[in-house]
């Protein structure tokens, strides 16, 4: 996905068996990093994945600050049409 500033980010979505949805991202375009983050966000992975910031993006700041990520600050994210789970 291309964010508003022009950089690319890989976004992952995980749907847990209990129906909870989790999202993850990687500005390094690393699918494992994004998937582990999404699994943690969905409650499937217990240990919070480590993360080293790349751009200082608000998503990174929220993740590192232990805050809820505001996914909708990126118009491209809100435009994603996910397949039904």
Contacts of residues 58-67 at CB distance under 8 Å and 24 or more positions apart, as own/partner, are 59/9, 59/25, 60/27, 63/37
Q: Answer yes or no: is 1 within a domain.
A: no
Residue 8 in contact with residue 2, Cβ under 8 Å?
Answer: yes
Q: Give the range of the structural domain holding residue 52, as residue numbers without chain letter.
A: 10-78
What pTM value is reported for the model?
Answer: 0.92
Residues paired with residue 10 on neighbouring β-strands, in sequence order: 26
pLDDT along the chain (85 residues), means of 10: 96 95 97 97 94 95 95 95 80
For residues 63 and 68, give the distance between their C-alpha atoms in angstroms, rounded to a whole number. Answer: 7
How many domains, the chain?
1
Residue 37 in domain: yes
Q: Does residue 15 fall inside a structural domain?
A: yes
Give the pLDDT score at 84: 76
User: Is residue 4 included in any domain, yes or no?
Assistant: no
pLDDT at 85: 64
Tell me whether residue 83 is in a domain: no
Residue from 61, 43, 41, 44 nearest 52 by CA: 61
């Amino acid at each position: 996905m291309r964010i508003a500033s022009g950089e690319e980010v890989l976004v992952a979505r995980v749907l847990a068996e209990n129906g909870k949805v989790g999202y993850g991202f990687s500005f390094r375009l690393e699918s494992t990093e994004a998937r582990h983050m999404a699994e943690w966000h969905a409650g499937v992975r217990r240990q919070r994945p480590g993360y080293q910031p790349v751009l200082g993006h608000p998503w990174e700041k929220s993740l590192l600050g232990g805050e809820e990520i505001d996914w909708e600050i990126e118009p491209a994210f809100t435009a994603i049409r996910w397949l039904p789970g």
